[in-house]
Chains A and B, each alone.
Chain A
Amino acid sequence: GAGVSQSPSNKVTEKGKDVELRCDPISGHTALYWYRQSLGQGLEFLIYFQGNSAPDKSGLPSDRFSAERTGGSVSTLTIQRTQQEDSAVYLCASSRIQGNEQYFGPGTRLTVT
């Protein structure tokens, strides 16, 4: 079956612009996660959705970051007024239930110039 998909695969944007990153989880997976990986670092947890609700937003680095999920499926991560330190690979994952093995998408490489 289809895995987790993310779009775009690459995004170059100017500092100060807003960006939207999209994630399509595996069908039937109720839990969805966003991570980011900066150069030379491990994956950093950002936010988790159970259905359309985000019980824990504590990993979002600043109030410029927000995320939503609709219909228990697609999720969008929005970064407003991008900064150069936002440059990273943003990864989305999904799982059947909370705490189960997470399946990752290929990521969106964001470059802020």
Chain B
Amino acid sequence: DQQVKQNSPSLSVQEGRISILNCDYTNSMFDYFLWYKKYPAEGPTFLISISSIKDKNEDGRFTVFLNKSAKHLSLHIVPSQPGDSAVYFCAASAPGAGSYQLTFGKGTKLSVIP
């Protein structure tokens, strides 16, 4: 039973345009969400996070939107750059004793075309 789903295994975007990566979750206990970026042969790198008390968090070119009623979050990258080409993982955690355990989606491979 996959609790965090990234339904698009891949996405191609032209340089300078917006990249939108989507993530859905099923566990209503999740209250903290993160996006990680992974290059080949490297570990995932933390990108941006959002708490369930917010619906938007912005950091430079990266914005994460959270729709709790739809159990959906998205990562927007504007403008997209070739260096953004990587696999992006959505992750979530629940409060309390389980807050250490991140549940990851399977990832979306983003290709930014120059």
> Contact: A104 with B100, CB < 8 Å?
no
Q: Looking at chain A, what size class is its interface with the partner chain?
A: 20 to 34
> Contact: B100 with A31, CB < 8 Å?
yes
> Contact: B104 with A43, CB < 8 Å?
yes
Q: Within the complex, which residue of B42, B46, B101, B107 is in contact with A101, where a contact is CB–CB below 8 Å?
A: B46
Stretch from A14-22, A62-70, A78-86, A91-99 that touches the partner: A91-99
| Distance from B41 Cβ to chain A, minimum over Cβ atoms (Å) | 7
- Within B85-114, the residues touching A (CB, 8 Å) are 89, 91, 93, 97, 99-107
Count the A-B residue pairs with Cβ separation under 8 angstroms: how many? 55
B100: which A residues are within 8 A, CB to CB? Answer: 31, 33, 48, 50, 56, 98-99
**Total count of chain B residues near the partner, CB < 8 A:** 25
Q: A98 to B100: give the CA distance in the assembly, Å.
A: 5
Interface string of A88-111 (1 = CB under 8 A from B): 000101000011011111110000
Would you call B49 an interface residue if the criterion is a C-beta within 8 Å of the partner chain's C-beta atoms?
yes
> Contact: A91 with B44, CB < 8 Å?
yes
Which A residues have a C-beta under 8 Å from some C-beta of B?
Answer: 4, 31, 33, 35, 40-45, 48, 50, 55-56, 59, 91, 93, 98-99, 101-107
Closest 5 A/B residue pairs (Cβ):
A104-B43, A99-B99, A42-B104, A43-B104, A42-B106
